[in-house]
Amino acid sequence: MKKNKNTIIETAKQTIIDESNAIANLVKFLTKDFENAVHFIHNSNGRLIVTGIGKSAKIGEKIVATLNSTGTPAIFMHAADAIHGDLGNIQKNDVVMCISKSGNTPEIKVLVPFIKNYGNKIIALTGNIKSYLGTNADFVLNCYVEKEACPNNLAPTTSTTAQLVIGDALAVCLLELNHFSSKDFAKYHPGGALGKKLYLRVKDLTDNNAKPEVQLTTPIKDVIIEISKKRLGTTAVIKNNKIVGIITDGDVRRMLKDNSDISQLTAADIMSKNPKTIQVDAMAIKALETMENNNITQILVEDKTAYIGVVHLHDLLKEGLF
């Protein structure tokens, strides 16, 4: 059993090494054609149509998803479907990228002449630049790999990884030419934790929370009632609507432990001065970072110097920002 485990780990290691070496080798194949293809896509008034068959089609779908999410309009068209009616997807100003390891796939060889007849430019993403696809394309992106990670050198493994990496390189170059920012990224990714990290602000959380507050002279009994009533585990201590301190559940417990008579105590006696605060228009993820860095579970919110409310760690948990 131990031998089998070692064999599995060694096989996995060798697969990763083989694929990483092949990816590093792709740098040598970046030519002026790659640069020209990027500029042509960027300057076109159409979309990038990505097509392929088999495993290359799966890679094409992922490349399209990456392009669309980073500001380059793209659609996927399966090569087999293309020659059975889906050629209508290609519009006048579109650019077509055909993905094929061999460059001699029958469906691709049938498809290429039709695309050329329409007058659309063709980008070949192939491991064989001397293939039918490579010699008939306007731009050739070389994704040659010496061998597959598959021990029989048959199953598309290293070759599809290479295709994906070239696709990522293409998308990132276009992203930079489009000056695609994190704000743009947020527009295309509004759902889930990723989107919320980019658009959710502190204000979006405080608007739904109570606003616990006491004065410096507030008796301890009333402080405890305020904390319990607002259910955020804390209260701000304010003066002229400005934060001068904070009292947490922990402060109350320590006070009860250290004092047998609390009847004369006020908020000023047990509050922590100079509490951590955050501005109301700050990103919610910044509130999380501040809490983590300071080992706290609540943070007081200000609008410039005016007290606005509280953000609790549970608010961020509910939004899935962890």
| Residue that the structure tokens 């319990």 belong to | 228
* Rounded average pLDDT over 276-300: 93
Rounded CA separation 282/37 (Å): 40
302: in domain: yes
Are residue 89 and residue 209 in the same domain, yes or no?
no
pLDDT at 1: 43
With CA atoms as reference, report the closest residue to 178 among 288, 17, 68: 68
Give yes or no for residue 322 having a pLDDT over 70: no
Q: 102 with 69, same domain?
A: yes
Average pLDDT, the chain: 91
Q: Which residue has the higher pLDDT, 95 or 209?
A: 95
Residues 78 and 211 in one domain: no
Q: Please give the pLDDT value at position 200.
A: 83
Range with the poorest average pLDDT among 43-52, 108-117, 255-264: 255-264
Across 171-181, average pLDDT: 91
267-285 core/surface letters (b: 16 or more CB in 10 A; e: else): bbebbeeebebbebebbbb
> What does the block give as tokens for 252?
């109350």
Domain that holds residue 128: 2-180
Whether the per-residue pLDDT at 26 is higher than 90: the answer is yes
What is the band of 121 on the pLDDT scale with cuts at 50, 70, 90?
very high
Looking at the structure, tell me whether residues 171 and 208 fall in a common domain. Answer: no
Question: Comparing 89 with 6, which gets the higher pLDDT?
Answer: 89
Task: Tell whether 80 and 130 lie within a shared domain.
Answer: yes
pLDDT at 224 over 70: yes
Instruction: Specify the DSSP class assigned to residue 219.
Output: B
Band (pLDDT 50/70/90 cuts) for residue 48 is very high
Structure tokens at 215: 């004065």
pLDDT digits (tens, 9 = 90+) for 2-19: 556 669 999 999 999 999
How buried is residue 46: exposed, middle or buried, by Cβ count under 10 Å (0-12/13-18/19+)?
A: middle
Q: For a pLDDT cut of 90, what percent of the chain falls above it?
A: 77
* DSSP code per residue over 79-148: HHHHTTTGGGG--TT-EEEEEESSS--HHHHHHHHHHHHHT--EEEEES-TTSHHHHH-SEEEE---SS-
151 has a pLDDT exceeding 50: yes
Evaluate whether residue 187 is within a structural domain. no
Question: Taking a C-beta distance cutoff of 8 angstroms, is the pair 298, 311 a contact?
Answer: yes
The count of domains in the chain is 2
CATH at residue 234:
3.10.580.10
pLDDT per position as a tens digit, 244-278: 999 999 999 999 988 888 889 999 999 999 999 99
State the DSSP string of 265-293.
-BHHHHPEES--EEETTSBHHHHHHHHHH
Asked if the model's pLDDT at residue 132 lies above 50, the reply is: yes
Residue 143: pLDDT band with limits 50, 70, 90: very high
Whether 268 and 245 have beta carbons less than 8 Å apart is answered as: yes
Give the number of other Cβ atoms within 10 Å of residue 71's Cβ: 18
Best CA proximity match to 269, nearest among 210, 214, 212, 211? 214
93 assigned to some structural domain: yes
pTM metric for this prediction? 0.67
pLDDT of 186 reads 60
State whether 157 and 262 are in the same domain.
no
The verdict on residue 211 lying in a domain is yes
Residues 210 and 295 placed together within one structural domain of the fold = yes
Mean pLDDT of 143-149: 95
- Residues 211 and 169 both lie in one domain: no
